[in-house]
Amino acid sequence: MQRNVFSAEFKAKVALEALAGRKTVNEIAGAHEVHPNQVTTWKREAQDGLKALFACKRGRRSPQEGADAEALYRQIGRLQVQVEWLKKKSELSPPG
């Protein structure tokens, strides 16, 4: 038996319908010809995704985020210095 592969758009449509709560899970499953457990799974995934979406707040950043960016900029600076040094070193020695 071959598994059905559903598109993300289809899953979102079914999950939104389940989140709306106008029909039972069994009614939604019957209308879209999927198993009720699948509807429940997609609904739960949608709820978790929404939580994650709104968890990323804009506005003030934590001091840790600034420290991470600062460390990355320092590393970029070191790498740029190394690249420049290697370029100069390669110009001094004759090729091959």
Residue 15 confidence class, pLDDT cut points 50, 70, 90: very high
pTM score, two decimals? 0.56
Work out the angle between the directed axes of helices 8-20 and 25-32 (0-180°, nearest 10): 150
Rounded-to-10 torsion of CA 50, 54, 55, 56 = 120
Calculate mean pLDDT across residues 5-26: 93
Looking at per-residue pLDDT, the higher value among 95 and 29 belongs to 29
**CA-CA distance, 29 to 12, in Å (whole number)?**
14
Gyration radius of the chain over CA positions: 26
Question: Across residues 84-92, what is the average pLDDT?
Answer: 84
Rounded Cα distance, 31 and 13, in Å:
12
79 pLDDT band, cuts 50/70/90, is very high
Q: What is the mean pLDDT of residues 32-58?
A: 88
Q: Which residue has the tokens 């040094």?
A: 85
